[in-house]
Amino acid sequence: MDIAVFEAEDWERQAFVRLGPGQRVRCVAESLDERNAADFSAAEIASPFINSRLNAAALAQLPKLKLIATRSAGYDHIDLEHCSARGITISNVPDYGDSTVAEHVFALLLAVARNLVDAVERTRRGRFTQVGLRGFELRDRVIGVVGTGRIGLRVIDIARGFGMKVIAHDLQQDEAAATRLGFAYVSLDQLLADADVVTLHVPATSGTVGMLSDREFARMKRGAILINTARGHIVDVEALVRALADGKLRGAGLDVLPQEPLIREEAAIFHEGATTDAEDFKALVANNVLLRFPNVIVTPHNAYNTDAALQRIIATTLANIEAFARGAPQNVVSAH
């Protein structure tokens, strides 16, 4: 089979050798989108990462495609409806970074709560004043966990170790986990009203896009902290800017933002054929405003990025491809 691997690092190229001499594997550093998809028209299997955009325009240029083996848990960068209509199988990596992402949540939270970035920058300049650096401890604070899948439950486990009180919200409640870990399920409105820290762990779906907007920020405690390591579009970024500007929120720790590809390469919005609209521009401006808030810490979609997690990602991706080749696809996702 012809296999195209996108956003591939050198160590990943070496790993794909495992697929054997019978597979024609082409690894490239570039991401896949409608601008370069025609260059890979022979591909029967595509393995993208999070920066590729497999929309209908890109997929239409891949007539032989049978499998998309995304090296990620999320798959909102893939047009599921188009794939379903063409019979293209999609496999993901559902379980690779529970601890990895959960630990990053607390890296962001502690950095915001203890003003670590400002403190480090001061001492590097030879200033050892503590003025303006007073933080708060996590013990006995209420953390509200939105989404209690694998990552959300690991966050709760860590939070309990810090001595935090935990409440959670999820449409699918895991009562056994609630009993085991000692937390209570509440409505989203109650969680927002009671939590000192709100951390998001839900996928990007039509039901979660814009989950936190002006109404939800208005319900939050004054001085609360928002952590988002899930998907950028879950938060209305303009509403977040307003909540930070008027002091409603103490701060935010963000590993994801809407329109991340535009942030990485702002010149892309002027590319011939680009479909950037007014909403994209507004999100891009809001994102750049967020980057200038001193009480906001933004990391570049890096929560997953540890040696152990990356090894699990590549191992599962290779297993997904091998399973598909045997006629027994695994870790299959669908549009429904």
pLDDT at 59 over 50: yes
Domain spanning 98-298: which superfamily?
NAD(P)-binding Rossmann-like Domain (3.40.50.720)
pLDDT at 258 over 90: no
Q: pLDDT tens digit string along 195-224?
A: 999 999 998 888 899 999 999 999 999 999
pLDDT at 277 over 70: no
Instruction: Determine whether 139 is an active site residue.
Output: no
Rounded CA-CA distance 253/275 in Å is 29
Q: What is the pLDDT of residue 206?
A: 84
Domain coordinates of the chain in residue numbers? 2-96+307-333, 98-298
Instruction: Determine whether 301 is an active site residue.
Output: yes
Q: pLDDT tens digit string along 233-248?
A: 999 999 999 999 999 9
**Catalytic residue, candidates 26, 260, 312, 322:** 260
Q: What is the pLDDT of residue 175?
A: 97
**Catalytic residue, candidates 71, 141, 233, 301:** 301
pTM for the full predicted model: 0.86
Helix (H, G, I), strand (E, B) or coil at 145: strand
* Rounded percentage of the chain residues whose pLDDT exceeds 90: 79
Which residues make beta-bridge pairs with 197? 143, 225
Helix (H, G, I), strand (E, B) or coil at 289: helix
pLDDT at 192 over 60: yes
Rounded CA-CA distance 196/297 in Å is 17
CA distances (Å), 90 to each of 45, 80, 208, 332, in order? Answer: 10, 8, 21, 6
> Are the folds of 2-96+307-333 and 98-298 the same?
yes
- State the sign of the Cα–Cα–Cα–Cα dihedral 58, 233, 118, 112: negative
* Structural class in CATH, domain 2-96+307-333: alpha beta
Q: pLDDT tens digit string along 86-123?
A: 999 999 999 888 999 999 999 999 999 999 999 999 99
**Catalytic residue, candidates 35, 141, 231, 233:** 231
Helix (H, G, I), strand (E, B) or coil at 199: strand
Instruction: Determine whether 231 is an active site residue.
Output: yes
